[in-house]
Chain A
Amino acid sequence: MKYPYFRTRMRLLALAFATLSLSTAHLEALAQPATLKIATEGTYPPWSFKDAQGQLQGWDVDIANALCTKMKAKCEINAQDWDGIIPGLLAKKYDLIVASMAMTEQRRQRVDFSNKYKETVSRFIGKKGSPADVSPAALKGKTIGVQRGSIQAAYLSENYKQSDLKFYDTPQAAELDLVAGRVDYILGNMVTYYVGFMKRPEAKDYEFVGPELKGGLLGDGNGIALRKGDAELMAKVNAALAAIIADGTYDAITKKYFPFKLM
């Protein structure tokens, strides 16, 4: 070889190619998994979140673990960014999504949902000492704040035609106007209020008013998502869900996080 370094450099080049092919060898072929792979969201306390040690925690995580115990299945729960959660299920990265996912028509076209595993409850908030009657007749002429486009907005527009409805871009904006005295009541997701607004110092003069509202225009609640047609697993999940509700495990988990029942 006329050029002394040519051979060495060719060897280096070959090494580079070898590294390249090794990195694609990472695409490990694994046998059909014996463990159930469960996705949750991971940035949404108290439903699912990671603590300062990086440990996954929350109501959804506890429920998923309880379901696995009942199904006698080995489970692996991972936090997955919300945007990739349904694609991940469809690509078989996950078998179940336990992430407080609302069962909407749009999602039903891509995944199958288990039986409802959490109700989405709506509730009014008003000044402390407000009368407990929040029927359309009782709130006639009152001002009610609500998030525009929400299920609660649809519910109020349909049923509270005699009240003065004010629509806001965010729930927070409605809360601010309640505190400022521009609206008499706000209506929204009870649990979101419970972990958000009601924990704030400015909420001290306010309380939940009237009964828990649900069903109809107020939504179908949350479900566990499975790939379409995964009937065998669906039967197992629904049986396990019924079992943890029947034996009190479900309520015991809820009690860890909230002073009220979720279903």
Chain B
Amino acid sequence: MWNLQGFGSQLLIGTAATVQLAACALAVGTAFGLVGAALQFSGWKLLRAVGYAYAAIVRGVPDLLIVFMVYFGGTVTLGAIAGRYVDVNAFAAGTFALALSFGAFASEVFRGAIEAVPRGQVEAAKALGFSGPKALFAVIAPQALRIALPPYGNQAIILLKQTSLVSIIGCDELMRKAAEASGATREPFTMYLAAAAIYLLLTSVSTLLLELSEHRLARHART
């Protein structure tokens, strides 16, 4: 059952691509999330509207559609702007599409966490003469981080599994490699089961890392 017929190395190459995609999309998506959350707290009505619209639209559209729109739509749009064919790198497009989706969920996580910090904390910081940025980074952010981490980690694990979506645009990640291996060997059960085991391993490691981070962030709350 576990005879991979020499396709083990291909699956490992796919695993590496999956991890790279997830890591890049996590970094870029977190940035999108921070910007999205910041927009929602903006003093300008227009910027607030942009922040809300980003979260509402992107969260409401299937991720597969976002992947298609960024890759194929992006190519056509850029081509139309440039007046000639513009090649969009599949890895970059995949990262961008996954980050766009992740950022929308992350922005809601961040917004919720910031709002969950008791109002009195901000007032206390002001009373002590803290400047705006200082109050944000020294008082609110550390408390919000602890609240945000569990849901943020949840989204990160979903992101890891969602990387399988970009196989459709020619990113040779784990899911595509498993499809190729099962096609070539006519052993779909073995190959997809192997892929499932690898995904489970990746998500287990991520979960463990998240639990360690949560434990560390909660250190001052322990006596």
Instruction: Please report A residues at the B interface, Cβ cutoff 8 Å.
Output: 2-3, 5-6, 9, 16-17, 19-20, 23-24, 26-33, 42-45, 49-54, 78-81, 83-84, 87-88, 90-93
Contact residue among A6, A49, A81 (Cβ-Cβ distance under 8 Å from B133): A6
* Residue contact B78 to A5, C-beta cutoff 8 Å: no
Interchain CB contact under 8 A, B86 and A23: no
B residues in contact with A45, CB < 8 Å: 183-184, 186
Interface of B is mostly: helix
Give Cα A45–Cα B179 distance, bound, in whole angstroms: 12
- Tell me the smallest distance from the CB of B101 to a CB of chain A, in Å: 15
Q: Specify the chain A residue showing the minimal Cβ separation from B92.
A: A26
State the CA gap A115–B181 with chains docked (Å): 32
Cβ-based interface call for B210 (8 A): no
* Bound complex: CA A88 to CA B93 (Å): 13
Give every chain B residue within 8 A of A78 (Cβ-Cβ): 170
CA of A50 to CA of B89, assembled, Å: 22
Query: Are A28 and B89 in contact (CB-based, < 8 A)?
Result: yes
- Inter-chain CA distance A33–B86, complex, in Å, is 10
Q: Is the CB of A84 within 8 A of B170?
A: yes
Closest chain B residue to A44 by CB distance?
Answer: B183
Q: Is the CB of B79 within 8 A of A92?
A: yes
Question: Roughly how many angstroms separate A80 CA and B96 CA in the complex, as a whole number?
Answer: 20
A43-B179, A84-B168 known, 19 other contacts, Cβ within 8 Å? A3-B130, A3-B133, A6-B134, A19-B28, A32-B84, A32-B85, A43-B183, A45-B186, A52-B5, A52-B7, A52-B9, A54-B10, A81-B176, A84-B170, A88-B169, A91-B76, A92-B85, A93-B87, A93-B170
Q: List 27 A-B contacts (CB under 8 A).
A: A2-B131, A2-B134, A3-B131, A3-B138, A5-B137, A6-B137, A9-B137, A19-B27, A23-B92, A24-B96, A26-B89, A27-B86, A27-B89, A29-B78, A29-B86, A30-B85, A30-B86, A32-B84, A32-B85, A45-B184, A45-B186, A49-B184, A52-B6, A52-B184, A54-B10, A84-B68, A84-B168
Render B68-88 as a binary contact track against A, CB cut-off 8 A, 1 for contact.
Answer: 100110111011001011111
